Amino acid sequence: MFLSLLILFSCKDKKEKEIVAEVSCGQCQFNHTDQKGCDLAVKIDGKAYFVDGVHIDDFGDAHEKTRGFVK
């Protein structure tokens, strides 16, 4: 019983927040120098963060001159 209540309360009504973020190469566009190569990053409230678990080209060709990220 206790375990069921613990699981119930831990899953209780998670709030989601919609935000607007810039998405680009962390090194090329956001001037991050702590990693080599091109890595996907998001900029939220003026601060850039690398995105773990995905490759930058999973969202299209990041270096395509006319369209950029397209899927």
Look at residue 24 and give its three-state secondary structure: strand
Tens of pLDDT, residues 8-59: 555 555 677 888 888 888 888 888 888 888 888 888 888 999 999 988 888 7
Query: How far separated are the first and last CA of the chain, in Å rounded?
Result: 47
Q: pTM score, two decimals?
A: 0.63
Alpha helices in the chain (DSSP H): 2-10
Phi, then psi, of 63 in degrees rounded to 5: -105, 10
Tokens encoding 51 = 């995105």
- Determine phi and psi for 26, rounding to 5 degrees: -65, -35
For the chain, give every domain's residue range.
16-59
Confidence at residue 28, expressed as pLDDT on a 0 to 100 scale:
84
Higher pLDDT, 63 or 5: 63
